[in-house]
Amino acid sequence: MSFGMGMPASTAATLGTMADSAAAAVAPRSRRYRPGPPDEVFFPVTPMLDMAFQLLAFFILTFKAPSAETHIDLHLPATPAALPSGPRGRARPSPSRAIDADLENDLLVRAEADDLGDLKALRLGGAILPDLPALGSRLRRYTQLLGNRPLRVRLVADDRLRYEPAARIIATCSAAGVSSVRLAQPGAIPALRGLLPGPGAGGGAR
């Protein structure tokens, strides 16, 4: 081990002892040796500040204002008739289609639109609901009752309904813990045919 200037440790220790002896000889014996105040230690902050400013400039330049955008995930099974594997003999049973057969027993959310396309009436099954929070609280109750079993909802809405209230319904269902939301054609559910307005009033089903 060596110290600065390539000096061996033993030499440095010897020199240190000699210097102490010389200082003791020069100083009057009546005075005790008191070390002076230590030199002020300067920490070089400038390079660190340069680096910090570089980082700050980078983050400011790449900063994007927080967006309120979010997304609602939907799993809508591919339509079996159009799947390309049928004619080529590669048809495989899809789990989502197997689940789709159970959807006859799922909850139906019915949204009716007024002439301007706004939400006029909202029903869960046969019950009329006053607003979306009521729908959310009912769905949350059903989710708790079902426990681990998935709760699925079919949305049957008038085609002339504006997309915004429809998106709010879907978001409410999703936030209430509904595992799957399907978008049904207005005339596709036999149980509701009597409840639905005709094609002239509700917009034609696809």
Partner 1 sequence: MATRSTSMISPNLTPLLDVVLQLITFFMMLVHFGSRLEGADRAVRLPVAPAALPGSDLTFDRLPVSLDQRGELRHGGRVLSGAAASAWWAEQAKIRRAGLELLPGPSLGDELPTVVILRADRDASYGTVRRTLADAQEQGFAQFSLVVLRREQP
Q: Which residues bind partner 1 (CB under 8 A)?
A: 42, 45-46, 48-49, 52-53, 55-56, 59-60, 62-79, 81-85, 91-92, 94, 96, 113, 117, 132, 136, 157-164, 166-168, 170-172, 174-175, 183, 185, 203, 206
Q: Is the CB of 8 or the CB of 199 nearer to partner 1?
A: 199
Q: Is the CB of 6 or the CB of 44 nearer to partner 1?
A: 44
Give min distance, CB of 163 to partner 1, in A: 5
Q: Is the CB of 74 or the CB of 146 nearer to partner 1?
A: 74
Question: Which of these, 127, 129, 191, 188, lies nearest to 159 by C-alpha position?
Answer: 188
Give min distance, CB of 126 to partner 1, in A: 22
Q: Is the CB of 8 or the CB of 133 nearer to partner 1?
A: 133
Residue 60 to residue 54: CA distance in whole angstroms: 10
Give min distance, CB of 173 to partner 1, in A: 9
- β-strands 127-129, 119-124 pairing: antiparallel
Q: Is the CB of 172 or the CB of 192 nearer to partner 1?
A: 172
Give min distance, CB of 142 to partner 1, in A: 16
DSSP for 78-141, please give it: PPGGG-TTTTTT-----HHHHHHGGGGGSEEEEEEE-TTS-EEEEEETTEEESSHHHHHHHHHH
Quick one: how far is CA 170 from the chain centroid? 17
CB 46 within 8 Å of CB 65: no
